[in-house]
Amino acid sequence: MTTSPDNQPLSDEALLALKTPRILTLANQKGGVGKTTTAINLATALAAIGERVLLIDLDPQGNASTGLGVESENRKISSFELLLGEAEIADAAQKTIVPGLDLIPASMDLLGVEVELADNSRRLFALRDCLERHFSSSTEYAYIFIDCPPSLNMLTLNAMIAAQSVLVPLQCEFFALEGLSQLVSTINQVKQALNPALDIQGIVLTMHDPRNNLSTQVEADVRGHFGDKVYQAMIPRNVRLSEAPSFGKPALLYDHKCSGSTAYMKLASELIRREKDANEISNNEPNNPLTDENSNADDLGTRYE
């Protein structure tokens, strides 16, 4: 039986609070595929149905931060300080205009993080270590999303090592397919050497246009190769999705009736179903990505830099 520090049995609510949050990294080394748009609006959709969500912006461009209305002058503590160990989750997380959705913003300082951490033997585990410290005493979030830069660099590797799963937004165009095999290969390498619990949570087709034969062909090819990994919910091309960031709002607040907002609500519902299934499986497995480590992980990590 799980007990509190004074050896009293914990209530059902307290036991629920002890659950580790689901940590998902949104990654694709190709830019312009809707990765940040998906991070913002999927996090917003989950918060809208009552989940506590944390979005960590690891992209030096800081588009996820801007898209949630947090301007650069209001980013006193960012994910840069988090990775350097100069701040903790509780210090860096700030409220957003979306109730239930907190943000750790990014700053341009992230461009120099590889230099700053060059002599740190645990530079690839910086984010994971920070999350582990925080959730050893506090688990207020049900979901954590990590928005990566459009490249396979140290920031993306930190995100993959800290996460349990990778969510891949994929634009319905030919060139988007070319980099997918490289991304999958990187995920498999990280899984083998650095984070045994990592897997591909799913692939989200973005900028889908059913009137375009190429979109239909890309959808068929991706579904044919990845099967059930591809979400049924697809994000359409939608001008309201493009307009929303300029107003510092998620599309679901900017225009909750537009086709893009509706698609993200469907995506959130599908993600919850998948995560419920994944949680049932993980409860029967010993691995915990925040605590289990490969004994040679630090040495192996050098090959990815």
Q: pLDDT at position 292, please?
A: 43
pLDDT digits (tens, 9 = 90+) for 155-172: 999 999 999 999 999 999
The pLDDT of residue 279: 67
**pTM, 2 dp:** 0.85
Whose tokens are 């190429």? That residue is: 214
CA pair distance 172, 144, nearest whole angstrom: 26
Enter the tokens of residue 302.
Answer: 């050098």
Helices (H), 227-286: 239-243, 251-254, 259-282
What is the structure's pLDDT at 51?
A: 94
Q: What is the pLDDT of residue 275?
A: 81
d(CA 150, CA 32): 8
The answer to whether 64 and 39 are in contact (CB under 8 A) is yes
Would you state the pLDDT for residue 96?
A: 96
Q: Which distant-in-sequence residues (6+ apart) come within 8 Å of 196 by Cβ?
A: 287, 289, 292, 294
pLDDT in tens, 228-274: 999 999 999 999 999 999 999 999 999 999 999 999 999 999 999 98
**What stretches in the chain show pLDDT beneath 70?**
1-19, 137-138, 278-305
Go through the domains of the chain in sequence order and give each one's CATH number: 20-283 (3.40.50.300)
**286, 295, 254, 222: which is closest to 40 by C-alpha?**
254
